[in-house]
Amino acid sequence: MNKEIIKNYKRAELDYQNHMEHLKALQKKGAGLDSGMPALKKAAMKAEAEKKRILDNFCIDQATDAETEAAQKVFDAAAAQVRHSDEMLQTVVKKIGVAEQGTVKILDTVRKFQGEVWQQLVPDIEKHLVKKVGKDLILLMAANMRQRGAWAYEPLLSNLFPKPSRDQLDAFSGTLDARFEKATRI
């Protein structure tokens, strides 16, 4: 087994895991910002309403100039907080979009190196099969030739290797996964 191929696969797998952790962190941050926006907007609207009420009172001499300035400062602070949070949210949303696009590229890389590992594994599996049943296959071919009177390779192959069902292929999934894990241990 080529160690460089395994290292490439492991590196790509680690890159993918790190990328997914980063993406999840961004999504969590975005969700937190998004969930806080309604409260911030409500506080800003409340501060604006209070500012208008104090201005109305100022017009009928029931509020001082200092009170109008204080109300304006509260409103400005609340509005600034909404703008700031909205900017942060929009930035996080953009970063999430970029990260999601990067996920496809990273997954393609993982699959590429995974395929290279399988390219290394399949010949080993074939060698094992030939050692295990090679002589029996030759004997079966010789008997097939005598039965049919000529070399009939296709019928023999279709009898030996009928097209498996999805369930039959899935039955080997655990075995293949175990071989893959064993092969990619460094």
Sign (positive/negative) of CA torsion 98, 100, 101, 103? positive
Instruction: Kindly report, residue by residue over 35-81, the tens digit of the pLDDT.
Output: 999 999 999 999 999 999 999 999 999 999 999 999 999 999 999 99
Average pLDDT over residues 124-149: 76
Q: What is the 3-state secondary structure (H, E, C) of 53-114?
A: HHHHHHHCCCCCHHHHHHHHHHHHHHHHHHHHHHHHHHHHHHHHHHHHHHHHHHHHHHHHHH
Percentage, residues of the chain above pLDDT 90: 62
Tell me the domain boundaries of the chain: 3-184
Q: How confident is the model at residue 4 (pLDDT cuts 50, 70, 90)?
A: very high
Q: What is the pLDDT of residue 22?
A: 96
Q: Report which of residues 100 and 158 the model is more confident about.
A: 100
Instruction: Kindly report, residue by residue over 18-46, the tens digit of the pLDDT.
Output: 999 999 999 999 999 999 999 999 999 99
Residue type, 4: E
Q: Which of 3, 6, 51 is CA-nearest to residue 180? A: 6
Residue type, 106: I
State if pTM tops 0.85.
Answer: no
Q: What is the pLDDT of residue 167?
A: 87
The lowest-confidence range among 88-92, 151-155, 161-165 is 151-155
CA atoms of 96 and 94, how far apart (whole Å): 5
Q: How confident is the model at residue 164 (pLDDT cuts 50, 70, 90)?
A: confident
Instruction: Kindly report, residue by residue over 114-126, the tens digit of the pLDDT.
Output: 999 999 888 888 8
